[in-house]
């Protein structure tokens, strides 16, 4: 049995704002009966362009019903601009949290809200450039990417909890993993400049040395090679390779893709590696 | 609040008589049946008694009974043993609607290189016997088909399936966990080589199971250790559990008649009343070839977990094949194998009764469930559009 909070139980047993608004300003329907949950959201604005009333209809489990009920409560009284900032996490928070496996119920709420706002503004929600990644649940790469970014997801399993993608036949797991890898890599390089204070030259050299020692040398030695740090000029890291690496035809690839990748990851994304004769 | 327990295919209450029979073996008579002293030796006699009782419920010989820890262990032992004794054979035949104890094991073996054929069922949940027969090959090591399905209660023609396997020299196993104690079984009169049963489905405790192995069947143990169970299953015997299971089998034999009259009548009344009171509901699984205690009903356009939680408010315990309750995101593999439409599968509820249920239990469900379905349908975005279509009720 799921561990639901009292708030979830309360909104499930006595849902607020169930129904449909006649002649709504914005309306949207998301999900499908095949996927196990669906949500229809409608709202009406007052003369000050605030959401005066919102109603929902839900097919789904207890947390889907509670999430929809919570969503309508949250958006009432808000302007469109304010409503647009609401995320699935806000819905989950309002309910005192949802079991991880049920987070997709809150994601469905956010989707319904966005589509209903689009509907009000008269823009179409179609995103032709997006591609369906999970055929079982009809989830696109864009939806998966957004869930990853918004909720800081790191595994396929988590993506399934939040979007349902991957929860059926499992054929799409590799594709989801690829999206995860891409987004996480992108997030890392976006984040680094602000997170990492500018390094002094001494700090930089020390970190490069440490990284070579800890992350790079052991694997090169494992293959019978080795690496020496010769100099650091600005962001150019000059190294010399020895043993198997020095004579290896593929040494360019070793340096570029491995050493540089490690140094970028652990020291600074601006570093470039150059090989020099010793 | 009174608990109305209608989830007996999940587990059953240990009956009072069974519990009384077991209690002395925890504190007073705790001897090890393998011991040389008479304090332990007297316990061994009780084990042998229990073995006779289990054998007699199955129409088997006591030596054909191996006590295990649960149905899953019995199922695993049967499959793994059959593969081990025929190392040249790499094919397994089973059905698409097995319990996870067989299904997941077979999927696991498929990844290890075994070839697994999962025979389908029709929309009424009946096994496709033509497909079954066609799937038996000279390379088949074992055919394992459940006797009755846990979700729908549909009974499979296992005796016929066993004969077809025997004709081809293939070992046949059946997961009979749901049927033992509900329908008479006579192992002397059929060709089943191995059969699994589980204590907690027939009012014995959890943690005790049986694997029946027909005399002459080649066998390789799963748990290797002491000489217990004639070396076929190592590990000190679960004495209290075995004694309890013996008693439960004795009681089951005595109440089999009641199961097929009283329980069946309760089930039928529940089913018919709900179908009459709730529009757009239907039974999953063929209605006559079914366990007398089980009904699986779908209520269109509502979701199972919501139904269960609202019934829980009234103390009613049942289960659902919906996605949200299965822990996965898809409805149960049984309903999908039957091709039950999604609008129906997500709203499926299984009621499974026992001899301990009363007319009042059934009355309560008949009274409380229709308004629950109504309440959820009013919330459902699909209901309004469909409602016009069902003005007949
Ligand atoms: S394609 Fe994603 S789970 Fe089947």
Mapping DSSP onto H, E and C, the string for B280-345 reads CEEECCCCCCECCCEEEEEECCCCHHHHHHHHHCCCEECEECCHHHHCCCCCCHHHHHCCCCHHHH
Phi, psi of B156 (to 5 degrees): -95, 150
What distance in Å separates residue B376's CA from the closest CA in chain A?
A: 8
Asked whether the beta carbons of residue B330 and residue A168 sit closer than 8 angstroms, the reply is yes
Asked whether the beta carbons of residue B303 and residue A137 sit closer than 8 angstroms, the reply is no
Ligand 1: residues within 6 Å at CB?
A 134-136, 165-172
A29 has a chain B CB within 8 A of its CB: yes
Task: Give the model confidence (pLDDT) of A16-62 as tens digits.
Answer: 999 999 999 999 999 887 778 899 999 999 999 999 999 999 999 89
Average pLDDT over residues B179-183: 97
pLDDT of residue A254: 62
What distance in Å separates residue A2's CA from the closest CA in chain B?
A: 9
- Tell whether the model's pLDDT for residue B390 goes beyond 50: no
pLDDT of residue B330: 82
> Helix axis angle, A6-13 relative to A62-75, nearest 10°?
90
Spatial strand order of the sheet with B65-68 comes to B65-68, B209-213, B194-198, B171-175, B140-144, B91-95, B115-119
* Of A105, A134, A172, A245, catalytic: A105
pLDDT of residue A252: 55
Chain A partners of B299 at a C-beta cutoff of 8 Å?
Answer: none
- Tell whether the model's pLDDT for residue A11 goes beyond 70: yes
CATH number, residue A240: 3.30.300.130
- Tell whether the model's pLDDT for residue B388 goes beyond 60: no
Q: In this structure, are residues B267 and B294 in contact, taking their beta carbons and an 8 Å threshold?
A: yes
Asked whether the beta carbons of residue A57 and residue B384 sit closer than 8 angstroms, the reply is yes
Chain B partners of A158 at a C-beta cutoff of 8 Å?
Answer: none
Identify whether residues A11 and A116 lie together within a single domain.
yes
How distant, in Å, are the alpha carbons of A75, B361, B363 from that of A158?
A: 27, 41, 43
Query: What ipTM was estimated for this complex?
Result: 0.85
Identify whether residues A175 and A251 lie together within a single domain.
no
- Tell whether the model's pLDDT for residue B393 goes beyond 60: no
Quick check: helix, strand or coil at residue A222? helix
Give the separation between CA B22 and CA B245, rounded to whole angstroms.
9
Quick check: helix, strand or coil at residue B36? coil
Domain of A102?
6-121
Asked whether the beta carbons of residue B382 and residue A33 sit closer than 8 angstroms, the reply is yes
Average pLDDT over residues B341-350: 91
- Asked, for residue A126, whether it belongs to a domain, the answer is no
Q: In this structure, are residues B6 and B351 in contact, taking their beta carbons and an 8 Å threshold?
A: yes
A217 has a chain B CB within 8 A of its CB: no
Chain B partners of A12 at a C-beta cutoff of 8 Å?
Answer: 306, 309
Identify whether residues A55 and A80 lie together within a single domain.
yes
Average pLDDT over residues A59-78: 95
Q: DSSP characters for B79-94?
A: HHHHHHH-TT--EEEE
Q: In this structure, are residues A268 and A196 in contact, taking their beta carbons and an 8 Å threshold?
A: yes
- Asked, for residue A220, whether it belongs to a domain, the answer is yes
- Tell whether the model's pLDDT for residue A91 goes beyond 60: yes
Cα-Cα end-to-end distance for chain A = 66
pLDDT of residue B389: 39
pLDDT of residue B385: 55
Task: Look up the CATH number of domain B4-10+255-390.
Answer: 3.90.1150.10
Q: Which of A33, A40, A168 sits opposite B342 (nearest CB)?
A: A33
How much is the mean pLDDT over chain B?
Answer: 94
- Tell whether the model's pLDDT for residue A278 goes beyond 70: no
A245 is catalytic: no
Q: Which of A192, A224, A244 is the last residue of a domain?
A: A192
CATH number, residue A60: 3.90.1010.10
pTM: 0.81
pLDDT of residue B327: 61
If pLDDT is split at 50, 70 and 90, which confidence band does B17 have? very high
Asked whether the beta carbons of residue A36 and residue B324 sit closer than 8 angstroms, the reply is yes
Average pLDDT over residues A115-136: 83
- Asked, for residue A87, whether it belongs to a domain, the answer is yes
What distance in Å separates residue B331's CA from the closest CA in chain A?
A: 8
Probe residue for ligand 1, chosen from A161, A171, A174, A178 as the CB with the greatest number of ligand atoms within 8 Å: A171
Identify whether residues A11 and A77 lie together within a single domain.
yes
Q: Which of A75, A93, A121 is the last residue of a domain?
A: A121
- Tell whether the model's pLDDT for residue A76 goes beyond 70: yes
Identify whether residues A175 and A93 lie together within a single domain.
no
Identify whether residues A218 and A180 lie together within a single domain.
no
Alpha-helix residue ranges (DSSP H) falling in chain A: 6-13, 62-75, 80-84, 88-94, 103-121, 141-151, 156-163, 173-195, 201-211, 217-222, 244-247, 251-253, 260-266
Top CATH class of B16-252 equals alpha beta
- Asked, for residue A127, whether it belongs to a domain, the answer is no
A105 is catalytic: yes
- Percentage, residues of chain B above pLDDT 70: 96
- Tell whether the model's pLDDT for residue B387 goes beyond 50: no
**Between B322 and A120, whose confidence is greater?**
A120
Minimal Cα distance from B381: which residue of A? A57
For A238, the enclosing helix (H) or strand (E) is strand A236-243
Q: What is the 3-state secondary structure (H, E, C) of B153-192?
A: CEECCHHHHHHHHHHCCCEEEEECCCCECCECCCHHHCCC
Task: Give the model confidence (pLDDT) of B223-255 as tens digits.
Answer: 999 999 999 999 999 999 999 999 999 999 999
Average pLDDT over residues B44-63: 97
Give the tokens for residue A233: 């000029």
Give the separation between CA A29 and CA B209, rounded to whole angstroms.
49
Asked whether the beta carbons of residue B303 and residue A29 sit closer than 8 angstroms, the reply is no
Probe residue for ligand 1, chosen from A156, A168, A175 as the CB with the greatest number of ligand atoms within 8 Å: A168
**Between A199 and B77, whose confidence is greater?**
B77
Give the separation between CA B295 and CA B290, rounded to whole angstroms.
9
What distance in Å separates residue B217's CA from the closest CA in chain A?
A: 37
* Of B70, B249, B317, B324, catalytic: B324
Average pLDDT over residues A135-141: 87
Number of domains in chain A: 3
CATH number, residue A156: 1.10.10.1100
Cα torsion B226, B227, B228, B232 to 10°: value is: 100
**Between A197 and B182, whose confidence is greater?**
B182
Phi, psi of B249 (to 5 degrees): -65, -40
Chain B partners of A137 at a C-beta cutoff of 8 Å?
Answer: 329
A33 has a chain B CB within 8 A of its CB: yes
Asked whether the beta carbons of residue A58 and residue B331 sit closer than 8 angstroms, the reply is no
Residues 6+ apart with CB under 8 A from A243: A224, A225, A226
- Tell whether the model's pLDDT for residue B264 goes beyond 90: yes
Q: How far away, in angstroms, is B331 Cα from ligand 1 center?
A: 14
- Tell whether the model's pLDDT for residue A249 goes beyond 60: no
Structural domain boundaries of chain B? 4-10+255-390, 16-252
pLDDT of residue B51: 98
- Tell whether the model's pLDDT for residue A135 goes beyond 90: no
């Amino acid at each position: 049995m799921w561990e639901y909070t009292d708030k979830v139980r309360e909104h499930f047993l006595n849902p607020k704002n169930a129904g449909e608004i006649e002649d709504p300003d914005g309306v949207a329907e998301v999900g499908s009966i095949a996927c196990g949950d669906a949500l229809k959201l409608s709202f009406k604005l007052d003369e000050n362009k605030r959401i005066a009333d919102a109603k929902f209809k839900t097919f789904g489990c207890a947390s889907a019903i509670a999430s929809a009920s919570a969503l309508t409560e949250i958006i009432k009284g808000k302007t469109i601009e304010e409503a647009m900032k609401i995320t699935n996490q806000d819905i989950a928070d309002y309910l005192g949290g949802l079991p991880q496996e049920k987070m997709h119920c809150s994601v469905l709420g956010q989707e319904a809200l966005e589509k209903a706002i689009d509907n009000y503004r008269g823009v179409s929600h179609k995103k032709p450039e997006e591609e369906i990644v999970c055929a079982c649940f009809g989830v696109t790469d864009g939806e998966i990417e957004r869930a990853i970014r918004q909720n800081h997801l790191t595994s396929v399993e988590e993506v399934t909890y939040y979007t349902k993608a991957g929860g059926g036949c499992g054929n799409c797991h590799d594709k989801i993993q690829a999206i995860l890898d891409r987004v996480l890599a992108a997030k890392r390089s976006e984040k680094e400049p602000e997170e990492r204070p500018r390094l002094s030259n001494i700090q930089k050299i020390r970190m490069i040395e440490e990284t070579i020692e800890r992350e790079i040398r052991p694997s090169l030695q494992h293959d019978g090679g080795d690496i020496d740090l010769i100099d650091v000029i600005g962001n150019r890291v000059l190294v010399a390779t020895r043993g198997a690496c020095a004579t290896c035809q593929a040494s360019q690839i070793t340096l570029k893709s491995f050493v540089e990748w490690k140094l970028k990851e652990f020291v600074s994304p601006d570093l470039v590696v150059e090989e020099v004769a010793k | 609040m009174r608990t109305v327990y209608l989830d007996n295919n999940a587990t059953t209450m240990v009956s009072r008589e069974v519990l009384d029979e077991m209690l002395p073996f925890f504190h007073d008579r705790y001897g090890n049946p393998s011991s040389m002293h008479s304090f332990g030796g007297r316990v061994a006699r009780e084990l042998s008694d229990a073995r006779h009782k289990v054998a007699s419920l199955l129409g088997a010989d006591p030596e054909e009974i191996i006590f295990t820890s649960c149905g899953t262990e019995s199922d695993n032992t049967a499959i793994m043993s059959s593969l081990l004794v025929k190392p040249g054979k790499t094919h397994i035949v089973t059905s698409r609607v097995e319990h996870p104890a067989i299904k997941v094991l077979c999927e696991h073996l498929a990844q290890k290189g075994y070839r697994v054929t999962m025979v389908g069922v029709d929309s009424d949940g009946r096994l496709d016997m033509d497909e079954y027969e066609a799937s038996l090959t000279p390379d088949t090591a074992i055919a394992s088909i459940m006797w009755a399905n846990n979700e729908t209660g549909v009974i499979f023609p296992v005796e016929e399936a066993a004969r077809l396997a025997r004709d081809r020299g293939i070992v046949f196993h059946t997961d009979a966990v749901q049927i033992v104690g509900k329908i008479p079984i006579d192992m002397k009169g059929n060709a089943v080589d191995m059969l699994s049963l589980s204590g907690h489905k027939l009012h014995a405790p959890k943690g005790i199971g049986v694997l029946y192995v027909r005399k002459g069947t080649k066998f390789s143990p799963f748990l290797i250790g002491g000489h217990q169970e004639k070396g076929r299953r190592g590990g000190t015997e679960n004495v209290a559990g075995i004694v309890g299971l013996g008693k439960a089998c004795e009681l089951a034999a005595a109440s089999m008649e009641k199961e097929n009259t009283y329980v069946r009548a309760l089930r039928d009344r529940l089913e018919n009343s709900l179908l009459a009171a709730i529009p757009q509901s239907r039974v999953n699984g063929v209605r006559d070839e079914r366990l007398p205690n089980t009904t699986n009903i779908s209520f269109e356009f509502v979701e199972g977990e919501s139904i269960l939680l609202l019934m829980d408010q009234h103390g009613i315990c049942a289960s659902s094949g919906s996605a949200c309750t299965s822990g996965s995101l898809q409805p149960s593999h049984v309903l999908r194998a039957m091709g039950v439409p999604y609008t129906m599968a997500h709203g499926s509820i299984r009621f499974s009764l026992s001899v301990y249920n009363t007319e009042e239990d059934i009355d309560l469900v008949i009274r409380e469930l229709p308004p629950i379905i109504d309440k959820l349908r009013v919330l459902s975005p699909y209901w309004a559009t469909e409602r016009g279509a069902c003005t007949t009720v």
